[in-house]
Structure 1
């Protein structure tokens, strides 16, 4: 897959029919994956906010306020999960949304359009937060949705490292075998399994498989 357009994504077979939560960056081509529930990666958002704030700390205080709101919400969801809760309270969600709305209002105050009605880079970022509030805050109403997609990026890093070392894959089968093995080890690690143990099991008694969840 050479490009990143919607057509390229479909041609590459990226998440066809995926119906779970897709934690992603703001790239517009992902929006056509309409079967999924979309959530915006918090790490990308914090990075965008930091970028405008560092250029003009006094004139872009709203960005610091918004970043603080996101990090506050992240901490609240983490504490809820640690306490065994499956959702934030209505009051907690309302508090987060009120802080969020305040940050957007402050951002609009600090970044009015020019005489032609055009917005600056910071003003455009403010409107992005205003337009995509529900997508950005999805992690606050569904605690199974992570704040960032860092885990997915970490899972892809070994592939990029191998590609960098070898410069290219000699065969398509070799690439498929590498991806299968990495997927096996990554899934095992997420379930607390030791890599060496599951590799030994793979070549002796058969592959390790995660146990299905037991419904109550």
Structure 2
């Protein structure tokens, strides 16, 4: 979604990207409304309309950037092709509501690593980076299961690590 938003930004001038972004946001809204109303699925007609808007926008994007005359146009052409070729992945959140419509959680986890590396100069060795990532991953998973960081670390230090349930 971020790449689409960047291409649709005020300085970008790509109306196809704005149309694609608007369709994605509308689909997010349809899912949120369906979840709030405790329905089993998104309104099929409304979803079909937004998917049509999305596909039209992507096709326009592929056509408008086909020349690939500069680096920006090549980047936007690759984005439009990716949106077309991986449509099922990009729109999966409309069918499986367990999947978030964005990857903000994953980006947050990566950002923490980059921030730590930049500020403290740590993670100078691959072993140190791996240890840090293992701890962050463990704590992130525990937090997603409703556990607090400190309690999870105490349990780990006491030799009784928390393990997620296997489904």
CA distance in 1, matches of 2:103, 2:40: 20
Give the equivalent residue in structure 2 for 1:23. Answer: none
Give the equivalent residue in structure 2 for 1:54. Answer: 11
Give the equivalent residue in structure 2 for 1:178. Answer: 132
Give the equivalent residue in structure 2 for 1:94. Answer: 48
Which of 102, 126, 144 is the equivalent residue of 1:190? 144
Shift of 1:69: 0.8
- Structure 1 regions of 5+ residues with no counterpart? 1-41
Shift of 1:103: 3.0
Give the equivalent residue in structure 2 for 1:202. Answer: 156
- The 1:191/1:86 distance shift into structure 2, 3 A limit, reads farther
Indicate the SS of the match to 1:187: helix
Indicate the SS of the match to 1:54: coil
Pairing 1:124–2:77 present? yes
CA distance in 2, matches of 1:95, 1:146: 21
1:23-64 CA distance string (max 9 Å, x none): xxxxxxxxxxxxxxxxxxx223222222xx5343xxx43332
| Greater RCO, CA 8 A, separation 6+ | 1
**Residue range with higher mean Cα deviation, 87-96 or 166-175:** 166-175
The size of the alignment, in residue pairs, is 162
- The 1:67/1:188 distance shift into structure 2, 3 A limit, reads same
Is the contact made by 1:86 and 1:143 (CA closer than 8 Å) also made in structure 2? Answer: no
TM-score computed with the length of structure 1 as normaliser: 0.60
Indicate the SS of the match to 1:165: helix
Counting only pairs closer than 5 Å after superposition, residues 1-216 of structure 1 correspond to structure 2 as 42-50=1-9, 53-56=10-13, 60-85=14-39, 87-104=41-58, 111=64, 118-119=67-68, 121=73, 124=77, 127-128=80-81, 129-204=83-158, 206-213=160-167
TM-score computed with the length of structure 2 as normaliser: 0.73
- The 1:84/1:196 distance shift into structure 2, 3 A limit, reads farther
Tell me how large the CA RMSD over aligned residues is: 3.2
- The 1:91/1:198 distance shift into structure 2, 3 A limit, reads same
- The structure where helix makes up a greater share of residues is 2
Is the contact made by 1:87 and 1:141 (CA closer than 8 Å) also made in structure 2? Answer: yes
